[in-house]
Structure 1
Amino acid sequence: MNFNIDKSSKKSGQMIAIILVIIISVVLGGLILKTEKPKAMTEEHEEHAEGEAHSEHEEGMSEESSGLDKQAIEAHEKQHAAQSPEVLKGPHGGKLFVKEGYGVEIAIFEEDTPPEFRVYTYLNEKPLEPTLSKVSLELARLGRTPEKFNFFKESDYLKSNATVMEPHSFDVHLNAVYNNKSYTFAYKQVEGRITMSDKQMTLNAVEVLTAGPAKIKSTLKLQGEIKLNADKSVQIVSRVGGIVEKVSVNAGDNVRKGQVLATVSSQAIADIRSDLLAAQKRVGLARTTYEREKQLWEEKISAQQDYLQAQNDLQESEINLSRIQQKLGALGAGTSGAGQTRYDIRSPIDGVVTVKKVSQGQVISEIDSLFEVSDLSTVWAEMTIYAKDINTVKSGQQVTVKATAFDAHAVGNIAYVSSLVGEQSRTAMARVVLNNPDKTWLPGLPVNIELTSSEADVPLAVSVEGIQSLNEETVVFGRYGNYFEARPVTLGRRDDKYVEVLEGLNAGEKYAAGNSYLIKADIGKAGASHEH
């Protein structure tokens, strides 16, 4: 019995010992876990794990409250006690930074005002009087000298002393002094920027030029029309009345000088040719008589008076023959033909039949215009000059003529400027003679005419190929290292090659010119945004 009691006591002592060991193990384990927890948080801080922690910060910040969430501040300080904190969104929609209970919210405001920095300060989740903090800011852009901003009180915030110029793509370093303690915060804001290596530029044929001075030509643009060169156009008439037997050409046909255009049957031509035949016979008879009388006179058989009379008759008959021949020549009619009544109307020049007003069987008179033949190797470009531009257009000025219906242009000089202004139109007219060897410029074709009215040297210009539109702004893509970044620009005068830059780009900066639209497309794919 005593044995059993001793045995039972021994078992109870073992159980108590086991329980004590378990309790001690649990206590030690708790102490170890408590000791390891700060270490794990420190390691997280050193590795900058942002995912869930950043989400907790954003959830902890209430946009509707004028103060700050205490839990968000505490979590923020624990994770970022040794360096600038993560960027949170503040109550005013700006970027919020908190350190040791002191908070700074910075925003770019541009509603009904030029873009400006606004800074809101907080202490322990409560708004802080702005004048208790002294804030300064340095803004660094690609390829530019850093800009410095100071701040002054405006309502419940601090306002920057200068405008925040576009683009809003930069590195920001903000320094705030509160209660004799300095706080430094930094963040980066990127928009309208892509990375492109030199090799990628070569593959995409992106041309990079340097912004600098250029000569800008101011041009005057006028409207005009191609017309026939009246100096090389001929109105063809019959010169004799008659009936048209045959028409050999149509409008638009090319003809050579001397080519028959139409054949006319004319009694007047028949009469003249009959007179010609009679005159030729009289000349023959007079010459025979003259030769006989000359021989008789030389042989002393007949009197000199008979010889002189025969000589005079010959001369008169020859003069009459010549007169009839000249008359036929003036009419353009031959001295003989298949029929004495036929008369061929011929082209006096090489050219194109631009007008045809005759048909077979038509009765015509000697004053009727039957054809117009024009030499189209040159044409006129006539332009309308408004009264305000009359003093700008001068004879001899070089102009560029451009077709409106297709891609064609030609260069010429003003040959004539009218000295009168139309009473109704209040416009004048100027004319340019254009070479037209390929018959590109057809009469009636509307054209635009550009002439250089002045030339000016500008200190800063870029190629017209470098100008693009992005987010409803006119931009140039500056080249900085391996980056292209959109730079909004204000433009001035321009011509076909260059555009003057008034603001937004500095002399010596490189920019994308040829194929710059590819950069715009890449920025669009990357999702260009305007961040504040």
Structure 2
Amino acid sequence: MTLRSFLIPLLLTLSLAACGGSQPEVQGETAGHSESEADAEPAKGAHNGRLLTDGPYTVELAIFEDGVPPEYRAWLYKDGEPLPPTAGELTVVLTRLGDVTDTHAFTAKDEYLQGSLEVFEPHSFDVAVTARIDGQTLAWSFPSYEGRTSIPAAVAQDAGIVVAPVVPGVIRDEHDVQGLLTPMEGRHARIVARFPGPVKAVRVGLGDSVRAGQSLATIESNVSLSDYAVTAPLAGTVLARNVAVGDLAGEQPLFEIADLSALWVDLHLFGADAQHITPGLPVEVTRLSDGVSARTTLDRVLPGTATASQSTVARATIDNADGRWRPGAAVRARVTVAEQPVDLMVPLAALQRFRDWDVVFVRFGDDYEIRPLELGRRDGVNVEVLGGLKAGDPVVVAQSYLVKADIEKSGASHDH
């Protein structure tokens, strides 16, 4: 564990404590104004609903979800005695984080009033209740939060919490494979002496850059007893020098030169990958040494099979103008077999589990709240969102686990 990974959660905890922690759920009922006793437990009625009282009148309000989608149900009382559901009218307005409102009108059933809409998750909102009984208009308001917390902007920044809007994107069917960098045919030469004889001069060393036609060595021919120059047939880099002054040049290569401005990447395919991966597919090649990546396209799949590994070899070309890619080095690669556009997606790093849901956290101001998601296809980086978010929603995409930890610490829940 690094010092930073230890200090950031500690800083988040201490800063939130200094600021009063996450935003608590304010319990209890009010008539026409907001709660003043934040820690009061709300009174419950016979149906386990919240009791809202004003003078002789009481409304019991509950979220009912036994065998049905969550819905509001309400019961009316006067002087503690039940009233028929036809004795009054009721409206509930829910204001969610981001100033989204849901208005629930109520109709009379056999023994209760039933809300007109499903109460969608999360059940986290400010509740405004308006009732009309015996010609009198009654009003209450209270917060009912779950999966919500507050984190000051400075603390979030120090903790590395990053927020980005939900956008359309592409889900990719990607296959990870291993590969090896090799010089390209036609850009690689092994240079031998034209005539045998003693080596009188060597003018280049290992790693030197040479131009086409440049003199590499001087040899005295055993045939003519005159000197001749060994020259570079192409511009490139000296990969090997197997000769020194005084050696006797013969049939063995003296130098190996290659143009390394571009290299082949030979990717080894096993099993089903060999059937799915074809020429023309995009591929991202990553150096193992420093994680730097380059994008290219598969040129071909070689017809044979590597005897030792029993793999099929797919070949791509990468630009090496900076000389950082080295022949013989192992690389990893990700081949994109298919791409599917999606209307909305989020990074996998944004996902967390909350209760039985896959969720992300949206941010409005200093407030963060869960959004349960319906998910679709995914790849190694992103996942499609089928429901629970809309385009542009501000979602935590980095350090989301810190937000989850603070929400769980707060333990906020809602009424049922």
Q: How does 1:11-410 map to 2 (within 5 A)?
A: 50-51=36-37, 87-88=42-43, 140=94, 141=96, 142-143=99-100, 145-146=102-103, 166-172=121-127, 187-191=142-146, 192=148, 209=165, 214=168, 216-223=170-177, 224-265=179-220, 269-270=221-222, 272-273=223-224, 336-337=226-227, 343-366=228-251, 368-406=252-290, 408-410=292-294
Task: State the identity as a percent.
Answer: 25
Counterpart residue type for residue 428 of structure 1 = T
Q: Deviation string for 1:170-226 (max 9, x for gaps)?
A: 2457899xxxxxx997642134366999xxxxxxxx9875x57x4525242333232
> How far apart, in 2, do the equivalents of 1:47 and 1:170 lie?
16
User: Structure 1 residues 93 and 429, CA, compared in 2 at 3 Å: closer, same or farther?
Assistant: farther
- Deviation for aligned residue 1:431: 1.0
Cα contact 1:194–1:522 (8 A) shared by 2: no
Structure 1, unmatched stretches of 5+, are 1-43, 59-86, 129-135, 153-159, 177-182, 198-205, 275-335, 338-342
Q: How does 1:480-519 map to 2 (within 5 A)?
A: 485-493=369-377, 499-506=383-390, 509-512=391-394
> How far apart, in 1, do the equivalents of 2:31 and 2:118 lie?
36
SS of 1:251's partner is coil
> How far apart, in 2, do the equivalents of 1:531 and 1:416 lie?
58
Deviating more after overlay: 381-390 vs 496-505: 496-505
- Deviation for aligned residue 1:354: 0.8
> How far apart, in 2, do the equivalents of 1:184 and 1:356 lie?
92
- Deviation for aligned residue 1:169: 0.9
User: Structure 1 residues 518 and 220, CA, compared in 2 at 3 Å: closer, same or farther?
Assistant: closer
- Deviation for aligned residue 1:387: 2.8
> How far apart, in 2, do the equivalents of 1:107 and 1:145 lie?
14
SS of 1:387's partner is coil
> How far apart, in 2, do the equivalents of 1:256 and 1:194 lie?
65
User: Between Structure 1 and Structure 2, how many residues are aligned?
Assistant: 361
Counterpart residue type for residue 501 of structure 1 = V
User: Structure 1 residues 489 and 476, CA, compared in 2 at 3 Å: closer, same or farther?
Assistant: farther
TM-score, structure 1 length as denominator? 0.50
Higher percent of residues as strand: 2
Higher percent of residues as helix: 1
> How far apart, in 2, do the equivalents of 1:354 and 1:518 lie?
46
TM-score, structure 2 length as denominator? 0.62
Deviating more after overlay: 488-497 vs 418-427: 488-497
SS of 1:391's partner is helix
2:20 alignment partner in structure 1 = none
Cα contact 1:222–1:385 (8 A) shared by 2: no
1:461 alignment partner in structure 2 = 344
Counterpart residue type for residue 456 of structure 1 = Q
SS of 2:272's partner is helix
Q: Deviation string for 1:237-278 (max 9, x for gaps)?
A: 23444444444332212122233333445xxx23x326xxxx
User: Structure 1 residues 108 and 188, CA, compared in 2 at 3 Å: closer, same or farther?
Assistant: farther
SS of 2:122's partner is coil
Cα contact 1:106–1:118 (8 A) shared by 2: yes
Cα contact 2:302–2:313 (8 A) shared by 1: yes
User: Structure 1 residues 418 and 138, CA, compared in 2 at 3 Å: closer, same or farther?
Assistant: farther
SS of 2:303's partner is coil
1:411 alignment partner in structure 2 = 295
> How far apart, in 2, do the equivalents of 1:491 and 1:424 lie?
42
Cα contact 2:34–2:141 (8 A) shared by 1: no
> How far apart, in 1, do the equivalents of 2:214 and 2:106 lie?
87
Q: Deviation string for 1:309-333 (max 9, x for gaps)?
A: xxxxxxxxxxxxxxxxxxxxxxxxx
- Deviation for aligned residue 1:462: 4.0
Counterpart residue type for residue 243 of structure 2 = V
SS of 2:256's partner is strand
> How far apart, in 1, do the equivalents of 2:280 and 2:399 lie?
42
User: Structure 1 residues 363 and 400, CA, compared in 2 at 3 Å: closer, same or farther?
Assistant: same
Cα contact 1:217–1:452 (8 A) shared by 2: no
Is 1:420 equivalent to 2:315 in the alignment? no
> How far apart, in 2, do the equivalents of 1:93 and 1:253 lie?
84
User: Structure 1 residues 503 and 144, CA, compared in 2 at 3 Å: closer, same or farther?
Assistant: farther
- Alignment RMSD (CA, Å): 5.7
Counterpart residue type for residue 318 of structure 2 = L
- Deviation for aligned residue 1:360: 4.3
Cα contact 2:269–2:311 (8 A) shared by 1: yes
> How far apart, in 2, do the equivalents of 1:371 and 1:453 lie?
41
